[in-house]
Structure 1
């Protein structure tokens, strides 16, 4: 096959990248240039989208955020706060033969891997989206790998038959308190609830208000999601989810609640009614991005979701490894 050229995309090529994201089976909203630009602008990230070209046509690539630590270490990662995965993407193969598709994937990923290794990064961390399973071009060449998890809740099954006794009791509690649920896209309400939840823990929210304002604006302009809330009979919002649309799923991207209403179990009712709401919107499943958070796993398991793995790969220089050991030694006992 013809050789793969890898280079950074210019702004005018982002539309072409978004077409790859749209058509690729494992392409997600987190890969899109619009999402990446929100991360770049609000979080002051140095964004690069590297494209892989064959005969002048874009066949794959990978978004990267670059950070320099005091001019000593240069670190590259495909993720940032509350963007759990992104990573390499490959244009869907036209071949019906498995070995041919694997060959094309390996050629593109090997070219990308070699290119990244020449960019002077002291650490490279790539997190692949769920559904992207073949990471061998990296692991076969000395990269470390790790497995992560998310939960898929099928919208084609009978949710009532899959509920645990505890979730049933919580839904009953919320119903008896006359809590209701509905869609309502209001960034002020969401950030108020989020701030209250984090204030209770005496920490700041993970992202600034501006980030959520940009996401809500994107939701309204592109119809790529919505907010779903639980509210009191008086109309006070006490819990909320921000859902982002995927190809066959809705991603439960972030959730929050007013801690003073936790005893009324608004989360349980929110998930339960959201199941039917998303089913009516013709999605196949809910992607509940909380399987790596031990404190939340027990709750979501009460809805009987399917555990889905996804993968990351990492390559570190000796300098970075030494710096990491020194950092852990200096801060030992503070974690």
Structure 2
């Protein structure tokens, strides 16, 4: 087998990277140079996309956001705020033999891991996209792994037969309140609703306003998603979902709800009508990123979703582990 070369991609190669994202099985919108560029620009992150080449062909790679913590620690992560997963991509092999495809995948990952370990990182944390299941090349080399979860709503099923009594009550409340749903492209509506959510909890928004504005612009220019809103009979938007298109699916990236209207069932109505709409458009499932927070899980379980695991892998230097331990000890003493 020919040797794998790993190096940083230059911006002129990002189109080639995006083609890999389209064809690789776990490739997602979060892997695209457009999305990564928004994170880099708005959050002022140092972004590098490392590519794996065989005979000049891009066959894999991994994006990393890099920061130097107080000039002492070099840290790399494949994700940032509100980018749930990213991580390595591997071009799917042409062989019909599972053993051959596994061998090719492991060779690419082995080369990538060796390269990353030579870059002087004190900590590397990769969150792999759902569908990237084989983390053994990492764990065999001493990386730690952990599991996270997302929910898939199967659009081939009958939603009316899968909703809980609680969800049916919420749908009835929404109907009695005269709530309706529609697609909207107004970023101001979404930002207002999101601000209400965080104001209620006395918290700051997780991302700058510009981030959402850039995402809405990307949605409109590339047609990579849409916003669905619940409205009162007077036309006031009281809940919204920002959905991104994936391969045969949508990703419920983020949602917002006016707390004053929570008891009217606008969120349940959104999911229900989204399900019917996407089913009519031949999507296969909805990827609802709400499986790692208990209160969100309790709600979405009312739609009988499938629980889907995805994985993280982490490598830390002795220096990083020591400083992390000292930091925890210091903060425990001051509490």
Given the alignment of the two structures, is residue 112 of structure 1 paired with residue 81 of structure 2, yes or no?
no
Given the alignment of the two structures, is residue 210 of structure 1 paired with residue 191 of structure 2, yes or no?
no
- 1:108 is displaced (CA, Å) by 0.2
Distance 2:331 2:230 in 1: 41
Give the match's secondary structure for 1:141. coil
Give the match's secondary structure for 1:172. helix
Residues 94-137 of structure 1 show CA distances to partners (whole Å, capped at 9, x for unaligned) of 11110100000000000000000000000000111000111111
Rate the CA distance shift 1:334–1:158 in 2: closer, same or farther, 3 A.
Answer: farther
Distance 1:292 1:58 in 2: 34
Given the alignment of the two structures, is residue 94 of structure 1 paired with residue 94 of structure 2, yes or no?
yes
- 1:261 is displaced (CA, Å) by 0.8
1:252 maps to which residue?
252
Q: Which runs of 4+ in 1 moved over 3 A?
A: none
Distance 1:328 1:281 in 2: 50
1:71 maps to which residue?
71
Distance 1:53 1:45 in 2: 25
Equivalenced residue count is 335
Give the match's secondary structure for 1:331. helix
Give the match's secondary structure for 1:315. strand
1:198 maps to which residue?
198
Distance 1:263 1:83 in 2: 29
Residues 212-257 of structure 1 show CA distances to partners (whole Å, capped at 9, x for unaligned) of 1000000000000000000000000000000000011000000011
Root mean square deviation, CA, Å: 1.0
2:41 maps to which residue?
41
- 1:334 is displaced (CA, Å) by 8.5
2:141 maps to which residue?
141
Distance 1:245 1:334 in 2: 46
Give the match's secondary structure for 1:16. helix
Give the match's secondary structure for 2:303. coil
Structure 1 unaligned runs (5+)?
none
- 1:205 is displaced (CA, Å) by 1.0
Residues 289-319 of structure 1 show CA distances to partners (whole Å, capped at 9, x for unaligned) of 0101111111000000000000110000011
Structure 2 unaligned runs (5+)?
none
Matches within 5 A, 1:1-335: 1-332=1-332
